[in-house]
Copies of this chain bind each other. A is one copy, B any other.
């Protein structure tokens, strides 16, 4: 769902997009490519990592290190990896965030944690939630964050808060516990928080 939402938005914005899966013939990826047509491509994780300048990690957080290993460390070198994944439930998370684990496992990738604090429909269309609200990013590489910021702006985000280096992925991943409680309380996935000061 998350990969579909982001890949479709990137296509709409005019990008060349490949959706990577474990299996090059993944049925959901194939259905997506058929629905979109034109510039939509599919491939293995490794095909995708070779193809792209910028990668979105939309795998389940518990499987993300394995998925990026399958993509190939060499293929990730120098690439911006925007990590939108979470490990749920947040309670089972270790002291280190997924964002930090990815950066440590793939030191030559430019990992940027972003967009993991909202539902995927809101990620690619912030107007799904009324008024102004905030999105966070963190990462060690300034150029990687600049690329991520441009993409977030293209998605429609205006209040983009740079929390600093990738250790701050802990902050946004920990927020998932409050996000889940708010989803349960509000009864909608179309919500977010606005930082006010």
Give the interface of A toward B (CB within 8 A): 90-91, 95, 129-134, 136, 138, 161-164, 168, 170-172, 174-178, 180-182, 184-186, 188, 190-197
Residues in B whose Cβ lies below 8 Å from that of A194: 193-194, 196
Q: By the criterion CB–CB under 8 Å, are B175 and A178 in contact?
A: yes
Q: Which residue of chain B lies nearest to A132 when distances are taken between CB atoms in the complex?
A: B196
Across the interface, A129 reaches (CB within 8 A) one of B133, B188, B197, namely B197
Can you list 28 residue pairs at the A/B interface with Cβ under 8 Å? A91-B95, A91-B170, A129-B197, A131-B196, A136-B178, A138-B181, A161-B182, A161-B185, A163-B182, A164-B181, A164-B184, A170-B181, A171-B177, A171-B178, A172-B178, A174-B174, A174-B176, A174-B177, A175-B175, A175-B177, A186-B197, A188-B197, A191-B196, A192-B196, A193-B194, A193-B195, A193-B196, A194-B194
Q: Once the chains bind, are A185 and B162 in contact (CB under 8 Å)?
A: yes
What residues on B are CB-neighbors of A192 within 8 Å? 195-197
Question: Considering the chains assembled together, what is the distance between the CA atoms of A193 and B194 in angstroms?
Answer: 5
Most interface-central of A164, A171, A188 (chain B CB within 10 A): A171
What are the 9 A-B residue pairs with the smallest beta carbon separation, nearest first?
A: A191-B197, A171-B181, A174-B177, A193-B193, A171-B178, A194-B194, A171-B177, A174-B174, A175-B178
Q: How far is the CA of A180 from the CA of B172 in the complex (A)?
A: 11
Name the residue of chain B whose CB is nearest to the CB of A173: B177
A133 to chain B, nearest CB (A): 5
Complex Cα gap A191–B161 (Å)? 14
CB distance from A66 to the nearest CB of B (A): 24
